[in-house]
Chain A
Amino acid sequence: MNYNRPELIEILAAEYALGTLRGRARERMTALLRDSQAMRAAVWRWESRLGSMALSLREATPPASIWSAIEQRIQPNTVVVLMPRARRLWQGFSAVATAAALIMAFLLTTTAPQQPAADHVAVFSNQQAQPQWLVSFDSASGKLTARALNVAATQVNAYELWMLPGGDSAPRSLGLLPTANHAIYSKLSADKAQTLRAAAGLAISLEPAGGSPTGLPTGPVLYQAPLLQL
C-alpha cells in the first residue's frame, strides 16, 4: 500500500482517531505514526476534530481516590539502603568516554530555548558501555531531568533513581525513570536539592512497577554513576 497518498493518509488517520482500526491495522498505524510526519499531523487534526464530540457528554465528577492514585504515581518518595557494586576499570573508562560525548551533546542542546538549565549531569551506561539514561540537575532551581536513551520498557518492573548522600546516610529516591526515549522533569524539595548538590553519586535499582513499595530495596542495583558538576 502506498502510504504517501494524501487521501489514504487522511482516511487511515481518521479511522485511527475514531478508534475503528483494530489488530494488525492498528499496529501498522503505530509504526506509521512513528515514521511519518504527514501521518502524525493528519491524526492530530482528526483527534482535534472528533475530540469536540466528547464535549457534548454530561460531565461526571470522578471520585477523589483517582487523584490520590495519580499523585502517588507521579511522585514516588521512599528511602532505601543500596549495596555498592564493583565495576571493571575498562568498562568504566569506555563509559566515561561515551559520557563525555553525551555531555557535549547535552550542553549543545541546553542552549536552545525551553530546555531546562542544568549544572550537574550523570550518565548511566550498561555493560556494553551503551548509555541508557542521562540525568541532569539544576542546583539553583532544583529541577531534575531524566532522559531515557532507547531503554526497553518493562511491564512488571520499574527503574528507580536514587541519590547516594554519602557517609552513613541512606540513599533517597528521586523517582521512577522513563523508558523508550521519554524524558521526565521534576522539581526537588529544597532539602533534597541541597542533599543532591553534595551527594556522592546516583544509582538505579530495579523495583516492582510503581516503585519500591516498602521503602526498602526489593531489586538489584543495576547502575551507579557520579553526578558531575559542569
Chain B
Amino acid sequence: MTSIPTDLNKATPMSTLTSIPSDTPSPASAAQDELLRLLRHASKGDQSAFQALYRQTSARLYAVALRLLRRRDWADEVMQEAYVRIWHNASEYVSERGHVLTWMISILRYRAIDRIRRERARGWSGDTLDNEDEEAASEDDNPLLLLQGHRRADQLNNCMNSLREEQRQCIASAFFDGYTHEELSERLQTPLGTIKSWVRRGLQALRRCLEQ
C-alpha cells in the first residue's frame, strides 16, 4: 500500500463506513458541503473564502500536477493557471458536475495535459524526473497500486479491479501519466488498434460496474 491515509480516513475507518446508512451525512459529504460553501462565496468575489478553498484542496491538486508533469516548475505554473481558472469559473460550478474536489481536479488535469502535449511536441520524453522529485514520485510510481487505500476511490477501485489487467493498466496510465493511445502503444509495445480497443472496452466495463 503506497498511499498515506488522509484525515478523512482517520476520522472514519473504512470498516465502519459500510454500516452507515446512505442517508446519514458522511464525512465525505460534510467535506463536500464545506468546499461548496467556500466556492459559492468565492464566486461572489470573496477572496478569503477562495484562499480557504485553496488551503483545503491544493495538496490534492498539487499531487496530481506533480504526478502528471514530473517537474516542479511546470507543476507550479499549471497550479497557478488552474486556480486562476477556478476563481473565474467558480460561478459555473453546478452540482451535476459532481464533487467540488473532482471538478477542481478536472480543471487542473486538462491544463496539465495541455502542458504535457506541448512539452512532448517539443521533444520532452516524460521519462526523466527532476532529481529533487525522484523521491516523491518513485514510491507511487505504479499507477495500479495508487488505486488502493482511499475510501472515496473504493468503488472505483473495486470496479478497476474487475477489469482485465491490460484494460486497467491503460486507463490508469492514461489518467495518472497523461499518455495518449499512441504513447501507450509505444510503451506497451502493442499495436495502436489493440490499445484503443483496450481503453474503450475498459471504460465501457468501468461504467457498467460503477452504475450497478
Assess whether B129 is interfacial by the CB under 8 Å rule: no
Q: Do A57 and B64 touch (CB < 8 A)? A: yes
Alpha-carbon gap, A27 to B160, bound state (A) = 28
**Which of B59, B149, B175 is close to A18, meaning CB atoms less than 8 Å apart?**
B175
A15 near B80 (CB under 8 angstroms)? no
B140 to chain A: which residues have CB within 8 Å? 57-58
Determine whether B39 belongs to the interface, using a CB cutoff of 8 Å to chain A.
no
> Knowing A15-B203, A59-B4, A74-B50 touch, does A47 contact B63 (C-beta < 8 A)?
no
Interface residues of B in 101-152 (CB under 8 A from A): 101-103, 105-106, 109-110, 113, 117, 136, 139-140, 146-150, 152
A113 close to B (CB within 8 Å): no
The answer to whether A71 has its CB under 8 Å from any CB of chain B is yes
> Quick check: B80 and A183 within 8 Å, CB to CB?
no
Number of interface residues of B (CB under 8 A): 73
Nearest chain A residue, comparing its CB with the CB of B156: A52
- Nearest CB in chain A: distance from B131 CB, A: 16
Interchain CB contact under 8 A, A14 and B207: yes
Closest to A187 in B: B45
Q: How far is the CB of B192 from chain A (nearest CB, A)?
A: 12
Interface bits A40-72 vs B (CB < 8 Å: 1, else 0):
010011011111111111111111011101110
The 8 Å CB contact of A51, one of B106, B179, B206, is B106
The answer to whether B172 has its CB under 8 Å from any CB of chain A is yes
- Does chain A have a CB within 8 A of B26? no
A-B Cβ contacts below 8 A, count: 174
Given contact pairs A15-B203, A67-B58, A56 touches B149 in the complex (Cβ within 8 A): yes
Q: How far is the CA of A51 from the CA of B150 in the complex (A)?
A: 13
Are A47 and B58 in touch, CB under 8 angstroms? no
| Contact in complex: A47, B98 (CB < 8 Å) | yes
By the criterion CB–CB under 8 Å, are B88 and A18 in contact? no
Instruction: State whether the Cβ of A3 lies closer than 8 Å to any Cβ in chain B.
Output: no
Q: Answer yes or no: A201 CB below 8 A from chain B CBs.
A: no
Q: Which residues of B contact A51 (CB under 8 A)?
A: 98-99, 101-103, 105-106
Q: Are B203 and A14 in contact (CB under 8 A)?
A: yes
Interface residue B91 (Cβ < 8 Å from any Cβ of A):
yes
Known: A54-B60, A185-B44. A47 touches B199 (CB 8 A): no
CA distance A67 to B87 in the complex (A): 12
B84 touches A58 (CB 8 A): no
State whether A74 and B47 are in contact (beta carbons under 8 Å apart), knowing that A56-B146, A66-B80 are contacts in the complex: yes
> What's the Cα separation between A158 and B192 when bound, in Å?
42
B67 at the interface (CB under 8 A from A): yes
Please tell me if A75 contacts chain B, counting CB pairs below 8 Å. yes
Q: Interface readout for B168-209 with A: 1 if CB under 8 Å, 0 if not?
A: 000110111011111010000000000000011001101100
A167 is an interface residue with CB less than 8 A from chain B: no
| A-to-B contact residues, CB < 8 Å | 10-11, 14-15, 17-22, 41, 44-45, 47-63, 65-67, 69-71, 73-75, 116, 143-144, 178, 182-187
Can you give 26 contacting A-B residue pairs, CB < 8 Å?
A11-B203, A11-B204, A15-B199, A18-B171, A18-B199, A44-B98, A45-B98, A49-B207, A52-B153, A53-B153, A53-B176, A54-B60, A55-B60, A56-B147, A56-B148, A57-B60, A57-B140, A58-B3, A58-B140, A66-B62, A67-B58, A70-B80, A178-B88, A183-B91, A185-B44, A186-B45
